[in-house]
């Protein structure tokens, strides 16, 4: 238990029963309104380094996509021939 929490609990002991119940109610409401799932951290641009190296070297994006699609078409044809 942290020293801050210990200090708060000692202060709460000095409150009347009604004040303690009010404190509990306030803390319960505060906790229940907080998001249960933490927000996803934003990604850094550096995480994407090397993912699409051709685009970073100046290749046109559409040319790159067309090239990938033709490679997949070639793989489908070769795969059909092997069967």
Q: What's the pLDDT tens digit per position in 6-61?
A: 999 999 999 999 999 999 999 999 888 876 777 777 888 777 776 766 666 777 88
At 75 the pLDDT is 80
Contact assessment for residue 12 and residue 23, using Cβ atoms and an 8 Å cutoff: yes
One DSSP character per residue, 10-43 reads HHHHTS-HHHHHHHHHHHHHHHHHS-SSPPPPPP
pLDDT at 69 over 80: yes
Does the reported pTM lie above 0.75?
no
Contact assessment for residue 61 and residue 55, using Cβ atoms and an 8 Å cutoff: yes
Residues 6+ away with beta carbon under 8 Å from 33:
none
State mean pLDDT over 71-79.
80
Which helix (H) or strand (E) is 12 found in, with range? helix 3-13
């Amino acid at each position: 238990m942290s020293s801050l929490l210990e200090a708060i609990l000692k202060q709460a002991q000095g409150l009347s029963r009604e004040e303690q119940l009010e404190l509990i109610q306030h803390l319960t409401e505060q906790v229940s309104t907080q998001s249960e799932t933490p927000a996803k951290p934003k990604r850094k641009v550096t995480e994407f380094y090397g993912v699409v190296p051709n685009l970073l070297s100046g290749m046109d994006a559409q040319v790159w996509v067309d090239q990938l699609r033709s490679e997949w078409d070639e793989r489908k044809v070769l795969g059909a021939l092997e069967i």
